[in-house]
Structure formats: structure tokens, C-alpha cells
Amino acid sequence: MLMVLAGTLLAPRCFGGKVQVWADKGIDFSQFKTYRWLPPKILTKSGVEENDPEFGPLIKDAINHELTRKGLREVSEGGDLEVSTLALAQSIPQLEGFIFMGTTPDFFTAPVATVGRYNREGTLIINLIDAKTQKSAWCGMAKESVDRNYGSGKKKIAPAAAKLFKKFPKLAAST
């Protein structure tokens, strides 16, 4: 239940407006020098696709460019940050969880509240995870930045990444 509540409280900070970011204020970002990639993911109506051959490379190239500009270096293993991305290619309602409001575990009579969201088509989400703590250090979301119809959607990824990383904390080594 704590995870559901924590997700609900973080969601407005991370996911409102065209470009939104959230950074853990307790983290010293100057400690980060390297990053490694987790497989880029695309959420479609048929499920999550990892390493999509069309969009995976575009997402990686755009984010690599921005992280390099910030003074970070990609490594294949043991990076200070782990880069997790998700592109929402379809508008899909998603159920996050149930909250049972009773004092007894009687699931049939206890009042129920559901927590959910509507995943917006064309959204790019970037989560940079502190590899030591396995907690999110920084996340950002850009709406209308991916279009599954290819064409113009491919052109939107790099500008969306640039807008997101304008709000990335300064690093000691950044240029």
C-alpha cells in the first residue's frame, strides 16, 4: 500500500504538463560520471516491447547525446546511473492498484478505491536510477514526443530529450 501511495504522490511532480521533471533533492549529482543503459521499452496495446528496432536506437541516440553534453560517459557495465526509458506508443488505460479501506481483510465487503492513469500516446519517459541505491535520482516526461506512425514521430524524440535535459541538474563536469 505504501508503494501505491508513494507512486500517487510522485506522479503529479513527474507527469503533469508537456515537459515535466523530478529530481531527488538529497542527491549530489556531481558524484555521477558514468551511465549504462537498460533496454529501452515501448508500451503498445499488445504489451511492452524491449529494444524496438525503429525507436530504440532513436531514443538511445537522443539521450546519449544529452548525457554526453552533461559530461557523463556511457559504459557497458557498472555505471553510476542506469538509464531506463519508456515510450508510450498508444493511449492505454492502466490500473495501478487497489486500496482496500476496511480494517479487516474482507475483500468482498470492504470499500475499494482504485488508482490508475491513462497512458498518453506519444509520451517519452526517462528515469535515471542511482546504481548504488537503486532509487530514482531524476526522471522526466515529455508528452507528444513519440509517434508510432513513424514519420514525424522520429523527428520529435531528439528535441523532446533536449527539452527534458534543460531541466537536468548541473554536474561538475558538464559543459
- Confidence (pTM): 0.69
Within-domain flag for 103: no
Residue 22, domain CATH: 3.30.160.670
Domain that holds residue 153: 18-92+119-165
- Please give the grid coordinates belonging to residue 15: 507527469
CA gyration radius, the chain: 18
Within-domain flag for 35: yes
For residue 85, is pLDDT > 90?
A: yes
Within-domain flag for 97: no
Q: What are 29-81's pLDDT values in tens digits?
A: 999 999 999 999 987 767 788 888 878 898 999 999 999 999 999 999 999 99
Indicate the number of domains in the chain: 1
For residue 26, is pLDDT > 70?
A: yes
Within-domain flag for 101: no
Determine the pLDDT at residue 90. Answer: 54
Determine the pLDDT at residue 15. Answer: 38
Between 10 and 68, the more confident residue is: 68
Determine the pLDDT at residue 103. Answer: 54
At 105 the three-state DSSP class reads coil
Within-domain flag for 53: yes
Distance CA 107, CA 2 (A): 18
Within-domain flag for 114: no
Within-domain flag for 113: no
> What are all long-range contacts of 71-77, with beta carbons under 8 Å and residues at least 24 apart?
71/33, 71/171, 71/172, 71/173, 71/174, 71/175, 72/32, 72/33, 72/34, 72/35, 72/171, 72/173, 73/33, 73/34, 73/35, 74/34, 74/35, 74/36, 74/37, 75/34, 75/35, 75/36, 76/36, 77/36
Within-domain flag for 72: yes
